[in-house]
């Protein structure tokens, strides 16, 4: 059965899932493979793209999705995650959870008898990374000799990109101020993948070094849900890492700009860049649907 809690869980299947997403997008796979199946969607955090893409994805694949906020579940009133997992497994064919703590998702999967799919945690965002890689493949044709640079706060999205890029043969750099680096355990795992695939991982506070020979410039919000108390300090620390015209000019001429959205124009990215010709953020957002459908197909189809 298996579950998708981390990019590491699909180390061997990552190219297959991305190719599957492309085939589904092009209408080359069976149209309703999840007929009669139900996905429970647990949301501890609000969402636009994750909620709509999974809901619509299940519908288009022939199944149905049930939205469950923390207020809708006894888990929100203290029921153990293990009990929630055991009960939901008797009702549904899969569980997607958008959680705060990564450990909660691990526990949910431990006690679930159906696949669990992470829709985001404080550590990773694997489904976002799959959609991002589908977008890169569509734009450039392949991952060969391509390099992605993540600029700003080394957060959960950055962590998943660090893991998936080397698995697909891409180099990756991260540029951020001191104290905003991605998780050490994620970097160490990414370096192992890079060694296996003969690719490079670079973590630096030097923007010029990080942007050298870059094909994809990626950023995310500086103040994620849960970080609101640090807003003022984060804006000060991260302003030198705003993706603006000058920063984009450090990348390759044909480089594209990516952002997982929602974006705050004038903070992590200038309006000139995100609304400009190099931006592929809406292709990226659309591909959440196709990547999600590929994940659902892979984990829930008999």
Pick out the residues of the known binding site. 47-50, 74, 98, 125-128, 156, 220, 224-225, 260-261, 288
Burial 66-86 (b: 16+ CB within 10 A, else e): bebeeeebebeeeeebeebbe
Instruction: Report the distance separating Cα 158 and Cα 269, nearest Å.
Output: 16
Other Cβ atoms less than 10 A from the Cβ of 208: the count is 10
User: What kind and span of H or E run contains 259?
Assistant: strand 256-259
Reference 146, options 169, 175, 174, 173; nearest CA is: 169
**Which residues have CB under 8 Å from 13's CB, separation 6+?**
298
Pick out the residues of the known binding site for L-ornithine. 156, 220, 224-225
State how far the alpha carbon of 212 is from the alpha carbons of 239, 241, 255, in Å. Answer: 20, 15, 11
CA 131 to chain centre: 7
Instruction: Report the distance separating Cα 108 and Cα 106, nearest Å.
Output: 5
Active site amino acids = 98, 125, 128, 220, 260, 288
Reference 267, options 223, 206, 229, 204; nearest CA is: 223
DSSP letter for each residue of 164-202: HHHHTT-EEEEE--TT-PPPHHHHHHHHHHHHHHT--EE
Pick out the residues of the known binding site for carbamoyl phosphate. 47-50, 74, 98, 125-128, 260-261, 288
Reference 116, options 126, 124, 105; nearest CA is: 105
On the CB side of 266, CA atoms within 13 Å amount to 0
């Amino acid at each position: 059965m298996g579950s998708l809690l981390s990019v590491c869980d699909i180390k061997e299947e990552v190219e297959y899932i991305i190719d599957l997403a492309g085939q589904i997008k092009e209408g080359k796979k069976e149209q309703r493979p999840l007929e009669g199946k139900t996905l429970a969607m647990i949301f501890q955090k609000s969402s636009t793209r994750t909620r709509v893409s999974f809901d619509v994805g299940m519908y288009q694949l022939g199944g149905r999705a049930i939205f469950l906020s923390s207020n809708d579940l006894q888990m929100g009133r203290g029921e153990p995650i293990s009990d929630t997992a055991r009960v939901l497994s008797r009702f549904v064919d899969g569980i997607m959870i958008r959680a705060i703590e990564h450990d909660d998702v691990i526990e949910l999967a431990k006690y679930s008898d159906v696949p669990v799919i992470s829709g985001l945690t404080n550590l990773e965002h694997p489904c976002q990374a799959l959609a991002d890689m589908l977008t890169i493949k569509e734009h450039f044709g392949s991952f060969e000799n391509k390099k992605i640079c993540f600029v700003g706060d080394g957060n959960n999205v950055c962590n998943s990109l660090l893991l998936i890029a080397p698995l697909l043969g891409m180099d990756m750099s991260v540029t951020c101020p001191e104290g905003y680096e991605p998780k050490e355990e994620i970097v160490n795992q990414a370096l192992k993948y890079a060694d296996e695939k003969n690719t490079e991982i670079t973590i630096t506070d030097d923007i010029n070094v990080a942007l050298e020979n870059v094909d994809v410039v990626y950023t995310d919000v500086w103040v994620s849900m849960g970080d609101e108390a640090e807003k003022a300090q984060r804006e000060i620390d991260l302003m030198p890492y705003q993706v603006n015209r000058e920063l984009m000019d450090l990348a390759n001429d044909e480089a594209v700009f990516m952002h997982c959205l929602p974006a705050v124009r004038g903070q992590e990215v200038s309006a000139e860049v995100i609304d400009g010709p190099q931006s592929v953020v809406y292709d990226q957002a659309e591909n959440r649907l196709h990547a999600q459908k590929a994940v659902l197909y892979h984990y829930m189809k008999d």
